[in-house]
A and B are shown apart, each in its own frame.
Chain A
Amino acid sequence: MAHFLFNLFAAFTLICAAGVVVSKNAVNGALCLLLSLVGVAGLFVGLNAYLLAFLLLLVYAGAIVALFLFIVMLLDVKGDQRPGLKHLPLVARLVALALVAAGVASFLAHGRLVAPAAAAAPALGDDLKLYAYQLFTTYLLPVQIIGFLLLAAMLGVIVLSKKFEGLEDIK
């Protein structure tokens, strides 16, 4: 069952991610991104990271994709041409192809990670307790910095979105 769910969510994630890349319409791209994130959240559940799966759905799927859809519909950009490779010079194509081939070859040759068997998952409450303990002891300073980052981002977005009278003539 775990194998089946892993394969299902992995295929779902990758197919929807490909949909983001090839979709002509930006709204379809945003919806594909949403589905891809749901697939990643499923993979997180397979890795016993329940809190992160929930946060991913809440923050990414709930807030970020909604923001994307909002901006896509606000700007209403028309006439995005189909993503193509025609404008790329031949040298760039050859170099890209060689790099991909080298990557795949090296993955096949020695892409075996020495994986320890997955550690026994702690009970659900212990897991969260460990998480919170780390956040408020080892990583206390980063938590504070993240708070300031969010504040700075909020102020920056307000300044960016506000129209200033004197700045209109700057080209």
Chain B
Amino acid sequence: MIAPTLNAYVAIAAVLFALGFLGVLIRRNTLVVFMCLELMLVASTLALVAFSRFNGTMDGNVFVFFILTVAAAEVAVGLAIIVALFRKKQTIQVNELNSLKN
């Protein structure tokens, strides 16, 4: 059993962030890459809430409120871009989207 200290919360946030980063690096499907991006965002909010709680201020919580809003806007725009990309290229695999390469 691990005690719920600040250290433990930040370690969990770090592992969650690393998992999301790993997904961004190794996955080929743009949608899954985007989900892993969301995972990284949530990991950062977890760290903010933990710091806010253990320092007795509300500022971290307010920041998380803003991060949630920005994440919602980001997902809407990102998914619209992915749909537009699929319409144009008929694929959303990262390794097939290489128009800028040559």
* Chain A interface (Cβ < 8 Å from any Cβ of B): 2-4, 6-7, 10, 13-14, 17-18, 20-21, 23, 26, 29-30, 33, 36-37, 40, 43-44, 46-49, 51-52, 55-56, 59-60, 63-64, 67-68, 71-72, 74-75, 77, 80-81, 83-85, 107, 111-113, 115-119, 130-131, 134-135, 138-139, 142, 146, 149-150, 153-154, 156-157, 160-161
A3: chain B residues at CB < 8 Å are 1-4
Contact of A156 among B1, B27, B58, B77 (CB under 8 A): B77
- Complex alpha-carbon distance, A83 and B76, angstroms: 26
Contact of B77 among A20, A115, A160 (CB under 8 A): A160
Contact of B1 among A7, A56, A130 (CB under 8 A): A7
| Interface 0/1 of B79-93, CB less than 8 Å to A | 111111010000111
B97: chain A residues at CB < 8 Å are none
What is the size category of the interface that chain B forms with chain A?
A: 35 or more
A-B pairs with the 6 shortest C-beta distances? A119-B56, A115-B6, A153-B73, A6-B4, A21-B23, A160-B80
> Can you name the residue of chain B whose Cβ is closest to the Cβ of A76?
B86
A60 and B42 in contact, given A21-B22, A131-B62, A156-B77 (Cβ under 8 angstroms): yes
Minimum distance in angstroms from A128 CB to a CB of chain B = 10
Chain A residues touching B, majority SS: helix
- Complex alpha-carbon distance, A81 and B42, angstroms: 26
- Complex alpha-carbon distance, A49 and B63, angstroms: 13
A60-B71, A67-B75 known; 8 new pairs, CB 8 Å cut-off, are A47-B49, A56-B45, A64-B71, A77-B31, A113-B7, A119-B55, A156-B77, A157-B76
